[in-house]
Amino acid sequence: MNIGKLSNEELKNLVFSRLPKLSERTLLGASIGADCAYISLGPKTLIASSDPITAGGMLSGTLAVHVSCNDIASTGVRPIGILIVILVPPHATESDLIRIVEQASASAQLLGVDIVGGHTEVTDSVNRFVVTTTAFGVSDTSSPKLIGKALPGDALIMTKSAAIEGTYIIANNHYDKIKGRVSDSLISQAKDLIQMISVVEDGVVAASCVDGRLASDGSAQSLVHLMHDTTEGGVLGAAYEMAEFSGIGLTVNQDSIPIHPATSALCEILDVDPLRLIGSGSMLIATSNPERVMRSLSDADIPSAHIGTFTESGYQLFDHHESAIPFLPPQKDHVYKL
């Protein structure tokens, strides 16, 4: 099999089709485009999500905490706790492990999330650190409710810029490939993108935009219908998954997608597509009122851009010449080209 995240078809055929039927207490389980599970706790709902960091190297502690917490934020709920599993390669030192643990601890403290358990093991099954985290949050009637699917006519909004996580990984883990080919200033900017990798505030702020109507449980109905953070597969992969999950189509103007200068420079040198590069740090938002949501994000000092529109059917990708470009389903993330 190919290295990287399974394709949507592989997930359907090899994994999802072989899972047992869910019980009534599970409101939403595994599916394409759904990164979080919803489990009923009576008047409240537990929201949980797991993610591994396999290509983060010695940055895995930081990335692991943020990636899982970002998934929880895509529901509009603030994460409260996290479990962490660290698989350590035999050649690693105690100092290496301490570094990973201290990274995770600092990131959890920054987000106000408790690390409540997990597992740590040295194993020759891995040749570099593999860190898997499971984050969770709790939703109640005070939490604005998202419809749960994008609707035709919804705007697709993107916060910050493309390939934030991928750019940070390149600058740190692949420095030997870019040294001397771009300025030290640009590399420094790429490393500084770690400060933008959390989308917890992006998700909470966006979901807090309500339209005055109440959901069936009495909670406020958000103007945001669906959110998805951009992890493996990048912006285009995440956008495609949102439309597929919602059972509708999508049109995206790729020239409207913000790309940081450092990202553009590093991706050009390494022949990597920034729109298909792992992009934790950016949230994709489907909303019927883009002006209101973008204004709220701006008030919170979170930049955003309107990059597309959900449609009845079909996938269309355009450039500034208004020329159609193949809009392919999520494929192997370009981080694995490195």
pLDDT in tens, 92-114: 999 999 999 999 999 999 999 99
Query: pLDDT-derived band of residue 214, with 50, 70 and 90 as boundaries?
Result: low
As a whole number of angstroms, the distance between CA 107 and CA 53 comes to 15
Concatenated DSSP letters for 9-47? HHIIIIIGGGSPPPPTTEEE-SBTTB--EEEEETTEEEE
**Does 208 have pLDDT greater than 80?**
yes
pLDDT tens readout for residues 301-322: 999 999 999 999 999 999 877 7
**Count of helix runs (H) and strand runs (E) in the chain:** 10, 15
Instruction: State whether residue 56 is helix, strand or coil.
Output: coil
Report the pLDDT value the prediction gives residue 143, as an integer from 0 to 100. 81
Note the pLDDT of residue 162: 97
- Separation between Cα atoms, residue 34 and residue 49, nearest integer Å: 10
User: How much is the pLDDT for 179?
Assistant: 87
| Angle, alpha carbons 37-30-197 (nearest 5°) | 65
What's the N-to-C CA distance of the chain in angstroms?
Answer: 18
CATH 3.90.650.10 describes domain 155-337? yes
Q: CA angle at residue 305 from 301 to 310, to 5 degrees? A: 135
Which residue ranges make up each domain of the chain? 8-139, 155-337
> Rounded to whole angstroms, how far apart are CA atoms 170 and 191?
9
Q: Which CATH architecture has domain 8-139?
A: 2-Layer Sandwich (3.30)
Q: Are strands 26-28 and 37-41 parallel, antiparallel or unpaired?
A: antiparallel
DSSP SS3 for 80: coil
Task: Please give the model's pTM, rounded to 2 decimal places.
Answer: 0.89
pLDDT tens-digit series, residues 231-287: 889 999 999 999 999 999 999 999 999 999 999 999 999 999 999 999 999 999 999
